[in-house]
Amino acid sequence: MATPLDHASTEDPILVRAAQAGEEAAFEELVARHRDRIYARAFSVVRNEDEAIDLSQEAWVKGWQRLTQFHGESSFSTWMTRIVINLCLDHLRRRKRQPTDSLDALDEDSGGVERYMAPVTVNPTQRLERGELRARIDAALGQLSDAHRTVLVLHEFEEMEYKQIAETMGCSIGTVMSRLFYARRRLAALLADLRGEERSS
């Protein structure tokens, strides 16, 4: 008789194989282990806590259904992250476009003021505590359009190359480069503004 798995001390690949064979408890352990990362990725893209929870849970259900298609080409968490990103992109496509998105797109098409803005010379995040920095980045990311934020997230957090981002988002590499540049410059400006606002208050 086979010895039952001690899930908490079992490595991912073994848990994955058990889950592929239908062992739900193994899958639960995988969920517990990687839920923060999957949720964080959903939240960084959609910027809404409830939507991020729903999308991350949907991703786990899809992951379970497609688990037999996972052959270990990447780590399990990377594979799950790709699933949640695709769900988030579908969600954003379905979501009604906000008027600010149209303006952002217009800015991007015409080059955007940030393209010609003088670089931020002082590091706006210098000497900030981690929590403070995170709150500030949170606020700045929230002001980017979905398209610009998503490119930034895929590049900076997922460490995807331009080509991979273009494939994931269904756009050209040129568009990816342009959006990434715009997003970074705007983020730098927003972080500087936020710091300026704090100083004046």
Partner 1 sequence: MKEQEQDLVLKVQAFVDGELPEPEQAGIAALIARDADVAALVKELKQTRQALAGYDEAVALPESREFYWSRIQRELARFPREQPEPVRGSLGALLLRWLLPATCVAALVAVGFLFLQSPWSAGGEVTWQAANDNVNAFTYRDYEEGLTVMWLSYPSDNTVADSAEAATLN
Interface positions with partner 1 (CB under 8 A): 22, 24, 27-28, 31-32, 35-36, 39-41, 43-44, 49, 53, 56-58, 60-61, 64-65, 67-68, 111, 115-116, 118-121, 123-125, 130-131, 133-134, 137, 152, 155-157, 161-162, 174, 177-178, 180-181, 184-185, 187-188, 191
CB of 99 to partner 1, least distance (A): 26
CB of 1 to partner 1, least distance (A): 25
Q: What are residue 58's phi and psi, to 5 degrees?
A: -60, -40
Closest to 198 (Cα-Cα) out of 138, 117, 124: 124
Q: Is 6 helix (H, G, I), strand (E, B) or coil?
A: coil
Question: Which residue, 2 or 118, is less far from partner 1 as judged by CB?
Answer: 118
With the CA atoms of 150, 154, 157 and 163 taken in that order, what torsion angle do they form, in degrees rounded to the nearest 10?
-150
C-beta separation of 46 from 88 below 8 A: yes
CB of 19 to partner 1, least distance (A): 10
Question: Which residue, 73 or 109, is less far from partner 1 as judged by CB?
Answer: 109
Q: Using CA atoms, how far apart are residues 3 and 10, in angstroms rounded to an integer?
A: 13
